[in-house]
Chain A
Amino acid sequence: MSTPLTGPLPARPSEWNVDLASDVPAQIGPRRPRPQRTWFRWSLASLPVAPLLLLGMLLGPQGLFILTPSALAALDPALPVALATLGGLVGLMPGLQGPLRRALGTASMTALVTALFVAAGFMAGAMATGEQSRVFVWLLPLVLGISAASSLIVPVQRLVNPWAGPTATAESEALVSVIAGGLLLAFVRQGTFVWSVLWLFQACAVVTVLGLSGFLMLRRSASDAERRVFAVATLLLVGGAADSLSFSALLGGVCAGLLWKAGGGPSRDSLQRDMLYALPPLLALVLVVAGARVQLTSLALGLAAAYACLRTLGRVAAWALLTRFGPRGTRSGGLSLLSPGVFGIAFALNAFRALGSDMSIAISVVVVGTILSEVTALFVTPRGGAA
């Protein structure tokens, strides 16, 4: 075995793929702080959602025109891959035991109440203004309702610590909204419930088969380079299949993630590691692209303000219901879910990719609404209670 050297060799296998700067053997003598790499940091758990959205708006066609429409079109193929990666991590979450099982019921309730609040509000608004179009009367409200239903940034904490409780409700909300979103997109595509379900099964089967083939490849990978190629190919296949089927890439990712979790072993670990590595920049890309796609019209701004208000009201209502009827141990922390996270934006983009330019208004509304909700959450969220 020979290893070309470009730096220190890890002293033992357990040190591989970890940040050596934080996991070095005890050093004799004083260790000086490293001056570099402290200016700008992000992590999966603390992705700066609103600033990245604002950055996208700044760089986009309505801002500095650096992200031109053609540049945005060139970046489009990366979006379903990012969404599938996000969904894959949801699928890879530890099983529905302990906190998550308890949280699922709570999450279903909070997500449902919030989604209903937002969707009903927009439907009522559309009807009140005499709007006739199918998009504004029911499709947009439902997309916005589902986008508003979750509060999670990235399902990463419990991948590291399976029993980390505080994010369980948010994770479950994400799961519920991903499934609901998948069903909605299938229904819009097929028109009837039965055909939607049948088609959904087929689409899920396609992405699951692709996920399986990647998984099998990874089981026999002979080198780091090969492993990386297979992992990238697998994510491309899963995201790409969902995109070409106009199916929810998030749900496709969840299906594949569940399969990988069931398969276990080094393939799962490898995929999880590569997904966690690639996700922050991919999500940053998603947020910047979403920001750049915003069209700052008066209609969009008005709807966004309404979205933020309805979402906040929905959250408060859900929290009130939870406090009154929720199971013990899940009654606290409802307001900590005010911060919208990235799943709402992810679903809006998903809907845009699957349903076409009709949904471009949804992106504008969700993006601006998310920024407003983030600002609201800054003032309302109890200290230390962020999801």
Chain B
Amino acid sequence: MNRVVALVLTAAAVMWARAIGGSAPFASAGTALVLGFALLGAWLTGDLLKRFRLPQLTGYLVFGAVVGPYLGNVINVSMAAQLQFVTGIATTLIALIAGLTLNIERIGTRLSPIARTTAAALAVPIVGLLAIGWLVWPWLPIAPEATGIARLAMLVPIVLIVVSFSPTMTAAVMAEAKARGRLGDLVLAMAVIADLFLLVLFAACLQGTRAVLGTAADQGVGPFLARIAWEIGGAMAFGALVGAVFALYLRYIGREMSLALLGLCALLSQAGSAQQFEPLVAAVAAGFVIENLAVMQGDSVRRAVREGAPPVLVVFFVAIGVSLRLDAVATMGLIALALVCIRIGLVWVGVRVGVRMSGLDEPSARYAWTGLISQAGITLGFTSVLAAEFPGWGERAQLLIVGSIAMHELIGPMVFRYALTRVDSGAMAPRPMVVVSNREPYVHTATDGHISVAAASGGVAVALDALMRERGGVWIAHGSGSGDRAVVDPFDKVMVPPEKPMYSLRRLWLEESMFAAYYGGMSNEGLWPLCHVVDVRPTFRAEDWQAYQDVNISFARAIHQELGESDAPVFLQDYHLTLVAPELRRLRPSAKTALFWHIPWPYPDRLRICPWRRDILTGLLANDLIAFQLERDRRNFLIAVEEELGAEVEEEASRVFFDGRHSTVVSVPIGVDFDRFQALANDPALPAEQERLRGLLGLRAPIIGVGVDRLDYTKGIPERLAALDALMTARPDLRGRLTFVQIGIPSRSSLETYAAVEGEIAGKVAVLNAKHAVAGAPPLVVLSTSLLDAFSLTALYRLADFCVVSSLHDGMNLVAKEFVAARDDEQGVLVLSELAGAAQELEDALIINPYDVEGFATVLAQAIEMPAAERTRRMRAMRKVVAGRNVFSWASDILEGLESIWSKPLLYSVHAWEERSV
């Protein structure tokens, strides 16, 4: 409703301004007003059409046509002329974006088949239209009297214009449809390459036409060639120079990027017309230079395009809509319609031939032509040039072509969107993926000849399992269950989940000694203490390192085997698998891999403890995407690769260039399955489960605290017990009224450090209970080493008045988030260590430093006595945070991030139009 009111107000105010405005001293006085009106109205029209599942671009065009001089006349002819001010900048921007897509590294391997397809898709329509045009020329209302070479000189530029495509429209429709399949990629690449070729060809051909028709300033072959060289070569040189200067701007100033980008486009557009060279060629050259030479700044440019382009491009499409000569359609309607049909038919044939020549897959062959129907900026730009250069026949040709553009524009986006929908299994449906982790999502256990299966209950495993159910593919993991071997097929695979098989679990068998060295040794005695700042010394042994390398190679080979011909993305989990990517890349250079590092990344001085740090860093940089929990981990990693490997780091773009390739480094905090915990918290059986737990754990005290951890030295459990001791000493009135439940799951108990901490905790609990015992009252601390399932855990969380997370160092700590997710009653207090990653997000928790025992105890007292209103306020705030960042969006963010590395900048530019927060 607000929008309707706003639009009505805007239209009324614009009319009012026109009524009282009178004559302004400058012709450009109304330009900004028209631009604003066009922008607002077009956006809203696009939004309206989107509700009817129509492309937004069609909405912009329709708005332009409706308010334009040929229909509504809200934007009259002089105002429409003012809108064309944006067209120059926008077409240059489109050409610049096209240049930014030309990354040699990225398209290198696919260039050949795409180029072959494009060549055919261009050659067939050009030849066909030339032949048909030559035959029907006497009946065309352009210059029927022209014959021989003069006719050819007129026909060739017209044909080139008629054939041209619209990369922007193509990309925009793809972004709307959220298509990332082969069809979209192919069509977009074809449109860009074809238009680049046509740009050059058109400039050269125009020179020829001028020479033949005698309108060229310099007659003769020499001046003709010199002029072409200047128009094309000069434009390329100027564009390259401007691109290089812009790259310097990016590197040394890098501010107001979007505006600087638009300034660059304005400069190219203006300089092109002033210096008589082709501005679009210059813009493509500039984009190409920025993309390939200023590689470190490439992402900054894409971001700037994403932020700055939408308003310009929306106005551009309105300008196209406004300029759609509906009168031309009326007068030349039948001829234009025939032209549209012939063009579409020839494009269809050309694409079929091209696809057959290049051997691309069948869905692309069937539908690629649909993405080449649309025409927009470049076509209009060509026609404008033709009309300006050759008044008379050029203007008549413009009328005809613009009539056909109107038809192409209205049907092109709809047909392409339909095609994408038809091919959605390949283009829009989720693509299969490969997940690789040390631990498997389903463990088969053999007990007395009977095999049972249990699903992993950890938050990450649940999220990845859900993702795999949705996308399908293969999960590769170490087969650790006693019944694992019994259920796999000859290829070591079993379909899971057992109740409804949806993806394959490929098990990797590791010898016990090798597993002990790789997992217990290198991973958990070396890397784990290295990355956690606690008082445990990392142990690095050469034999562990060797086993670690061997196991990683085994994982890489298994991935390679499973991928087969597929180019599915590979999602590696955690610090156990740092060396998988380099081996996989050796076997398969085109592999797309992302690795999520769940634990903290050490600061540089600590990292130097590791004798194989450079191998690990090199291994990680073999991934396309490396993701960390926190911003500080990401920054520490970037410092490490810069210092240890001398890699080139672009901090703002968060990319690293090393060993001839790029890796993107991001921070994506992990979340929990919020909805699942909500559902569990609202389960009618929850009160019964709470009663069961009360009985089981002896929870009779009126105040209950809870801590849920693996028994790990990083979790700060002894410090937590010390704080409870201090609290009880300071507040004896709490004795007998408070019970703290510590769920402590034994973990890696075979390692000395872990066994020691388990013993220490058990001892401290006993001492504490004895010290603060009250006759007949429940004990202060209840230690349970039993693993609780999610439902019981939720019940326990809902029983507790407060939850304590006192990690000495933690990547994230999901217990904190689980507790918040379970408390939809908006009660309960979270006491959270500032050394846990979760503290970066949960600012409304009571933050403690586990090393400050007295302070910790004070905060515990504060948690116990916190007023209900404050508890509610804090919990409500934390729940917003946790709900907004669930584990599924975490996983899909990383995968989308991985896939977007390979998508085109054009997608970035138009994807922003469709961004909608949920």
| Chain A interface residues (CB < 8 Å from chain B) | 1-9, 11-14, 20-21, 24-32, 34, 36-37, 39-40, 68, 70-71, 73-74, 76-78, 80-81, 199, 202-203, 206, 209-210, 212-214, 216-217, 219-220, 222-226, 228-230, 232-241, 243-246, 277-278, 280-282, 353-357
Contacts and interface: CB of A to CB of B under 8 A. Distances in A.
Contacts of A243: 24, 29-33
Contacts of A8: 631, 634, 654, 666-667
B667 A9 contact: yes
Contacts of B914: 225
Given A353-B29, A356-B25, A6 B893 contact: no
A236 B911 contact: no
A347 B252 CA distance: 33
Nearest to B37: A237
B128 interface: no
Nearest to A76: B28
B884 A1 contact: yes
A25 B630 contact: yes
A25 B916 contact: no
A209 B12 contact: yes
Interface stretch (B3-11, B69-77, B159-167, B458-466): B3-11
A209 B9 contact: yes
Contacts of B7: 213
A241 B636 contact: no
7 contacts: A12-B841, A219-B2, A222-B916, A229-B311, A237-B32, A240-B35, A246-B22
A165 to B, nearest CB: 29
Contacts of B913: 225
B664 interface: yes
B254 A236 contact: no
A226 B26 contact: no
B13 A241 contact: yes
A7 B270 contact: no
Contacts of B28: 73, 76-77
B98 to A, nearest CB: 19
A240 B30 contact: yes
A290 to B, nearest CB: 16
B34 interface: yes
Given A28-B533, A210-B13, A233-B311, A37 B253 contact: yes
Interface residues of B, number: 100
Nearest to B912: A225
Contacts of B256: 277-278, 280-281
A5 B36 contact: no
B653 interface: yes
Contacts of B40: 213-214, 217, 229-230, 233, 237
Interface of B: 2-3, 5-7, 9-10, 12-14, 16-18, 20-22, 24-26, 28-37, 39-40, 43, 82, 85, 251-256, 259-260, 263, 266, 270, 274, 299, 302-303, 306-307, 310-311, 314, 533, 600, 602-606, 625, 630-632, 634-636, 639, 642, 651-654, 664, 666-669, 840-841, 843, 881, 884, 889, 892-894, 896-897, 900, 908, 911-918
A216 B639 contact: no
Given A21-B651, A229-B310, A280-B256, 18 more contacts: A5-B625, A5-B896, A11-B667, A11-B840, A21-B652, A24-B631, A27-B636, A40-B253, A73-B28, A76-B31, A77-B32, A217-B40, A222-B917, A229-B43, A230-B43, A232-B39, A237-B10, A237-B37
B259 A278 contact: yes
A24 B251 contact: no
B7 to A, nearest CB: 7
Contacts of B3: 216-217, 220
B630 A11 contact: yes
Given A24-B632, A216-B5, A356-B25, A74 B85 contact: yes
8 closest residue pairs by CB, A with B:
A29-B603, A240-B33, A5-B897, A240-B32, A236-B36, A356-B25, A237-B36, A77-B31
Contacts of B85: 74, 77
Contacts of A78: 32
Given A24-B635, A29-B639, A245 B20 contact: yes
